[in-house]
């Protein structure tokens, strides 16, 4: 009669083997990722000094009721914050300032002046959603305008009485530099359009997980991520507009 010999638990051996295999797989995956990772494309503002901008909640002219103007402004602000040479104030702070000014929207030069002074910013972005389809193939259209305030007209603190003394709907010469926007950009970004898909591929190249379930296509199934891409493209075009506006005509003619 043989005596029973204790057997090592099978689960322990399997667990150890599984851990080793997982470590090996993770190491291979990480090494593969590092070989394929690339830095994302970045934008740079064409200003000698950093600027502070504020983004007003977007208006909705798309005809789709589920558009969230605060969410759109928030995503746009996040993308704007990543631009070299541009700082932003949180959208919540913009909303608080508008409420204190009893302003439901910033639709006139006087509105924008008061809001810019209340926030102490160099510029205000006014945006409108013009097309919206959150179901694949995604589509998002928007238009943005940049209004700038001369530095000597910005207030350091928030004084509602001072800001509301002048009648709304009017603006004194020079208070906004020009009564209208200094730069603008607009577009409808349809995920079936090949130019849009080309821009999206370039944008997603440094902002997606190469070995993820969707890869770069994650931007084609998530409206939040697609809104990030559209915001980036609009900012890209806005800064190009500003670069052209600020470039002296003599440099353009001479080719420098």
Is 224 inside a domain boundary?
A: yes
Q: Has residue 27 been placed in a domain?
A: no
Does residue 36 fall inside a structural domain? no
Total domains, the chain: 1
If phi > 0 it is left, if psi is from -120 to 50 it is alpha, else beta; for residue 54 that is beta
**Global pTM value:** 0.75
What does the pLDDT average to over 189-215?
85
Residue 18 covered by a domain: no
pLDDT (tens digit, 9 = 90+) per residue, 148-181? 987 645 444 444 334 333 333 333 333 444 568 9
Q: Is residue 179 part of a domain?
A: yes
In a domain, 193, yes or no: yes
Structural domain contains residue 168? yes
CATH number at residue 220: 3.40.50.10610
Calpha distance 33→38 (Å, rounded): 10
Burial class (CB in 10 A: 0-12, 13-18, 19+), 122: buried
Say if CB 66 and CB 134 are below 8 A apart: yes
Domain of residue 208 covers 51-247
Output the CA–CA distances (angstroms, integers) from residue 21 to 28, 84, 105, in the order listed: 11, 43, 58
Q: How far separated are the first and last CA of the chain, in Å rounded?
A: 99
SS3 33: helix
Q: What is the pLDDT of residues 208-222, one digit of tens each?
A: 766 666 667 889 999
pLDDT band at 93 (very low <50, low <70, confident <90, very high): very high
Contact 148, 122 (CB under 8 A): yes
Average pLDDT over residues 30-46: 72
- For residue 173, which of 146, 151, 153 has the smallest C-alpha distance? 153
231 within a domain of the structure (yes/no): yes
What does the DSSP assignment read for 185-228?
A: EEEEEETT-HHHHHHHHHHHTTSS-TTSSSGGGGGGT-HHHHHH
- Neighbouring CB atoms inside 10 A of 121's CB total 24
């Amino acid at each position: 009669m043989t005596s029973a010999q204790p057997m090592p638990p099978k689960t322990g051996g399997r667990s150890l083997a599984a851990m080793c295999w997982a470590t090996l797989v993770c190491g291979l995956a990480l090494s593969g990722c590092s070989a394929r990772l690339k830095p994302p494309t970045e934008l740079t503002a064409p200003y000698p000094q950093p600027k502070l901008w504020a983004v007003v909640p977007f208006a909705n002219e798309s005809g789709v009721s589920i558009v969230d103007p605060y969410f759109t402004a928030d995503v746009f602000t996040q993308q704007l914050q990543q631009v070299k040479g541009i700082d932003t104030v949180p959208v919540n702070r913009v909303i608080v300032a508008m409420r204190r000014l009893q302003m439901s929207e910033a639709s006139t030069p006087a509105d924008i002046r008061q809001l810019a002074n209340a926030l102490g910013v160099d510029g205000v972005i006014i945006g409108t959603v013009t097309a919206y389809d959150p179901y694949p193939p995604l589509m998002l259209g928007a238009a943005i305008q940049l209004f700038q305030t001369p530095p000597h007209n910005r207030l350091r603190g928030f004084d509602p009485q001072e800001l509301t003394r002048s009648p709304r709907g009017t603006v004194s010469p020079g208070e906004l530099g020009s009564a209208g926007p200094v730069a603008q950009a607009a577009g409808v970004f349809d995920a079936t359009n090949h130019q849009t898909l080309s821009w999206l591929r370039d944008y997603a190249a440094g902002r997606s997980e190469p070995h993820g379930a969707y890869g770069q296509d994650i931007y084609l199934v998530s409206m939040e991520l697609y809104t990030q891409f559209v915001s980036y493209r609009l900012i890209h075009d806005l800064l190009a507009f500003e670069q052209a506006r600020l470039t002296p005509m003599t440099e353009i003619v001479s080719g420098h």
